[in-house]
Amino acid sequence: MKIAVFSTCSYDKEYLELLNTGHELTFYTESLNVQNALLTKGFDAVCIFVNDKADAEMMPLLADNGIKLILLRCAGFNNVDLVMAEEVGIKVLRVPSYSPEAVAEHAMAMVLTLNRKTHKAYNRVREGNFSLENLIGFNLHGCKVALIGTGHIGKAFYKILKGFGCHISAFDPFPDAELIKEGLKYENLENALKDAQIVSLHCPLSEDTLHMINANTLKLFKKGAMLINTSRGGLVATSDVIEALKTGQLGYLGLDVYEQERKLFFKDLSANIIQDDVISRLISFPNVLVTSHQGFFTKEAMTQIAEITFLNADSFANGKPLDNELLS
Encode pLDDT of 158-182 as tens digits. Answer: 999 999 999 999 999 999 999 999 9
Residues 195 and 303 in one domain: no
Q: What is the DSSP letter of 208?
A: T
Residues 72 and 164 in one domain: no
Helix or strand (DSSP H, E) at 209:
none
Catalytic residue numbers read: 232, 261
Mapped onto helix, strand or coil, the DSSP state of residue 24 is: strand
- pLDDT tens-place string over residues 31-52: 999 999 999 999 999 999 998 9
Helix or strand (DSSP H, E) at 3:
strand 2-5
Going across the sheet that includes 69-72, the strands are: 24-27, 2-5, 45-48, 69-72, 91-93
Q: What are the φ/ψ torsions at residue 55 (nearest 5 degrees)?
A: -90, -170
Q: What is the pLDDT of residue 34?
A: 94
Residue 147 CA: distances (Å) to CA of 169, 294, 322: 6, 20, 32
Residues 307 and 166 in one domain: no
Q: Is the pLDDT of residue 315 over 90?
A: yes
Residues 158 and 201 in one domain: yes
pLDDT mean over 183-209 = 96
- pLDDT tens-place string over residues 87-146: 999 999 999 988 899 999 999 999 999 999 999 999 999 999 999 999 999 999 999 999
Total domains, the chain: 2
Closest CA to 172 of 164, 160, 157: 157
Residues 80 and 149 in one domain: no
Residues 110 and 250 in one domain: yes
At 79, which CATH number?
3.40.50.720
Whether residue 173 lies inside any domain: the answer is yes
Helix or strand (DSSP H, E) at 311:
helix 299-317
Q: What is the pLDDT of residue 67?
A: 98
Helices (H) and strands (E) in the chain, counts: 12, 12
Enter the pTM of the model: 0.90
Residues 80 and 111 in one domain: no
Q: In sequence order, which residues have a C-beta less than 8 Å from that of residue 316 and are 6 or more positions away?
A: 1, 45, 68, 69, 91, 93, 322
